[in-house]
């Protein structure tokens, strides 16, 4: 598969929007799943279906979705789309899942965002997530926050955590840290997750271990 493959069906669309597009950069099963989903959708919706645009990987998300279904009108199509989704997922098997969103041709901004989506590597996403988390922490905690030290990758763990939050005192900060974590994860999207642990400056064993393995988040 090339990075962008148009799935050719027998009937040409009269729209300027590509009919079926997979921007493929993942496992072959994802391309197969979306291909089958598009074929089933076309058999269900016919000319009401204008385009199916899939992101490169299942874990890539826009508007909390990895597939955009463009239809002439949205009324009365959802049940058929759900049916095609379930049938495609059942036939392909495995853990891959289509999280679709629908729009009409007039919603050009959403269509262009899906067509122009540029996937970000997990490493870059991890840095992006940490930067947002750190900024939100500084905003909510102010001088009570001393340092944020992260491990190089999300899957790296020390004390069952990938981020150390150093605060002047731990009392009353957990709710604000959880809020910053959730907001950062929601903004970045995907499956990356911050598993944090807190300590005070006196608990040097934690900060020493994290500094040895990780890096300070600006």
Q: 101 and 160 in one domain?
A: no
For residue range 166-211, what is the model confidence (pLDDT) as tens digits?
A: 999 999 999 999 999 999 999 887 788 999 999 999 999 999 999 9
For residue range 73-124, what is the model confidence (pLDDT) as tens digits?
A: 999 999 999 999 999 999 998 889 999 999 999 999 999 998 888 766 667 8
Q: Quote the CA–CA distance of 12 and 62 in Å, as a whole number.
A: 27
Q: Quote the CA–CA distance of 95 and 74 in Å, as a whole number.
A: 28
- Among 78, 95, 115, the domain boundary falls at 115
At 180, is the secondary structure helix, strand, or coil?
helix
Percent of the chain clearing pLDDT 70 (strictly above): 85
How high is the pLDDT of residue 57?
Answer: 84
pTM of this prediction?
0.54
Q: 20 and 46 in one domain?
A: yes
**Max CA-CA distance within the chain?**
70
Q: 110 and 127 in one domain?
A: no
Q: Quote the CA–CA distance of 57 and 23 in Å, as a whole number.
A: 8
Domain count of the fold of the chain: 2
Which pLDDT band, with edges at 50, 70 and 90, does 61 fall under?
Answer: confident
Low-confidence winner among 34-38, 60-64, 137-141, 156-160 (lowest mean pLDDT):
60-64
Domain span at 17: 4-115
Q: What angle do CA 112, 117, 123 make, to 5 degrees?
A: 160
């Amino acid at each position: 598969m090339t990075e962008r493959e148009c799935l050719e069906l027998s009937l040409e669309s009269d729209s300027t929007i590509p009919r079926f597009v997979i921007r493929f950069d993942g496992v072959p099963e994802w391309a197969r799943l979306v291909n089958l989903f598009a074929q089933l959708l076309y058999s269900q919706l016919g000319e009401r279906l204008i385009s199916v645009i899939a992101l490169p990987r299942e874990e890539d998300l826009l508007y909390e979705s990895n597939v955009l279904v463009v239809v002439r009108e949205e009324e009365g199509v959802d049940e058929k789309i759900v049916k095609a989704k379930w049938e495609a997922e059942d036939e392909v098997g495995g853990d891959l899942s289509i999280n679709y969103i629908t729009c009409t041709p007039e919603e050009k901004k959403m269509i262009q965002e899906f067509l122009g989506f540029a996937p970000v590597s997990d490493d870059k996403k991890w840095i992006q997530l940490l930067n947002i988390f750190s900024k939100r922490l500084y905003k909510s905690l102010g001088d009570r926050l001393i340092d944020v030290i992260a491990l190089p990758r999300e899957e790296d763990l020390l004390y069952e955590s990938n981020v150390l939050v150093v605060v002047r005192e731990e009392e009353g900060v957990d709710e604000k840290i959880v809020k910053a974590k959730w907001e950062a994860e929601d903004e970045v999207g995907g499956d990356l997750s911050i598993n944090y642990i807190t300590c005070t400056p006196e608990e040097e064993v934690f900060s020493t271990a994290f500094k040895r393995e990780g890096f300070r988040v600006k």
